[in-house]
Amino acid sequence: MTTTWRHLPAPAREIAVAATEAVAAARARDREAYDEAVDRLAGADRSGLVLGAVVRLLLEETHPDGLDGDDVRQVLETCVRGAASWQSDIDPHVVLVLLAGALGVYDPDDDATPPDPAALARHAPLLLADLLAGTGRPLDGWLTAAFAEIRRTELHD
């Protein structure tokens, strides 16, 4: 891609920077850096929209023939098991909500205990780091694609 997210307004750049730092910290298993980046993500307006778009794009890339229940279960298990060694409070339900939300099949009204935005922000970089490991590509390109997709959607609504 020839453009990046770096030209976007400050709030969007803050989401991208915090997400990039959180994913890098997740890969390095650096709890302090992770907590700091996740706190910024949780406080950034619309970070969930951006992170959800990146998750969806990554799922589409890593599962070009679509996902079935077994694929979702495998993604969920791989993410939770991989993160559990350094993030003992990882909640499989929150990761499942992230997956379902990215796929457009989650309705918070049907969930007796919907996760709060801070929990989603805390778990999303763990899922992103896990999904990115399968692509061998950096997060930057995915963020650029997600911002472009969000922009297109907003222009057409």
Give me the pLDDT at residue 65, please.
Answer: 93
CB atoms within 10 A of CB 28: 12
Contact call for residues 153 and 61 (beta carbons, < 8 A): no
At 19 the pLDDT is: 96
Q: Could you tell me the residue ranges of all domains in the chain?
A: 5-156
| Rounded distance between C-alpha atoms, residue 51 and residue 61, angstroms | 15
What is the model's pLDDT at position 39?
97
Cβ(117)–Cβ(45) below 8 Å: no
Neighbours of 148 (CB within 10 A): 14
Question: Residue 129: its pLDDT value, please?
Answer: 97
Question: What are the pLDDT tens digits along the chain (157 aa)?
Answer: 344 777 888 899 999 999 999 999 999 999 999 999 999 999 999 999 999 999 999 999 999 999 999 999 999 999 999 999 999 999 999 999 999 999 999 998 899 889 999 999 999 999 999 999 988 889 999 999 999 999 898 888 6
Instruction: Provide the pLDDT for residue 7.
Output: 81
DSSP 45-58: TTHHHHHHHHHHHH
Residue 29 has which token pair?
């298993």
The pTM score is 0.93
For residues 79 and 72, what is the distance between their CA atoms, to the nearest angstrom?
Answer: 11
Question: How many other C-beta atoms can be found within 10 angstroms of the C-beta atom of residue 75?
Answer: 24
